[in-house]
Amino acid sequence: MNFEAVKSIYLFEMARMKRTLLQSVISPVLSTSLYFIVFGAAIGSRIETIDGIEYGAFIVPGLMMLTLLQNSISNASFGIYFPKFIGTIYELLSAPVSFLEIVLGYVGAAATKSLILGLIILATAHLFVPIEIRHPFWMLFFLVMTAVTFSLFGFIIGIWADNFEKLQLIPLLIITPLVFLGGSFYSIEMLPEFWQKVTLANPVLYLISGFRWSFYETADVGVGVSIGMIIFFLTICLAAVWWIFRTGYRLKT
């Protein structure tokens, strides 16, 4: 394992966070604050509690997951796409660096940035609503696993994309709607029975449900199912990344 190579890639990507502080940190925090103001104050005044939890506190895990997924994907996808765009990817591929070291550097940096942002969002939420974390270990488990899994997914998108528009295609048209429809701002028990069954086909529901359980011990699906799903997603992403470097898909052409 070439740890110097991993360290170099990791530190280079982390340095980009400092250069784009307004976009990478301040903007998501302001957006989340607006969600609390709009949903917590306007809608929260009409919905007092869900499963015995104050509505403003109930939406915190969903807002954190929304921010985590969006930033994990965008950080990782742009991180690997930009070297492709300017042509420096070929220097990286010809260097004595294995694909595992490349993935560890880029995905590790993207996941770290997302985790930092997630913790900042959690601290911001404390300014608006009282929050109780009943299972800190499982909260960190879901936080880390989600950041790593969707950073890998973003890495795949960055390799697949051949223009800047495609970088935003899947996050905007697929991931964001799935998060909003995955119980971020409501419990699926509030839906008619038919739509409850439809929502169960949404994979993001299992992430949000398990993450919310770690806060309040309330969930739309069993926590064991949520853990199994996040491990399943991670396995699929790892297999896809392995296949990409095995075949050189959109890397060697």
Give per-residue pLDDT as tens, 222-250.
Answer: 999 999 999 999 999 999 999 998 888 87
Unique residue bearing structure tokens 């930092």:
116
pTM, to two decimals? 0.90
How confident is the prediction for the chain on average, in pLDDT?
86
The pLDDT tens digits for 37-82 are 777 666 666 676 777 888 888 888 988 898 899 889 988 998 898 8
The pLDDT tens digits for 94-119 are 888 888 899 999 999 999 999 998 88
CA distance 209 to 62: 9
pLDDT value at position 252? 64
Percent pLDDT > 90 in the chain is 34
CA distance 245 to 203: 26
**Are 147 and 72 spatial neighbours (Cβ–Cβ below 8 Å)?**
yes
**Are 66 and 172 spatial neighbours (Cβ–Cβ below 8 Å)?**
no
**Are 213 and 135 spatial neighbours (Cβ–Cβ below 8 Å)?**
yes
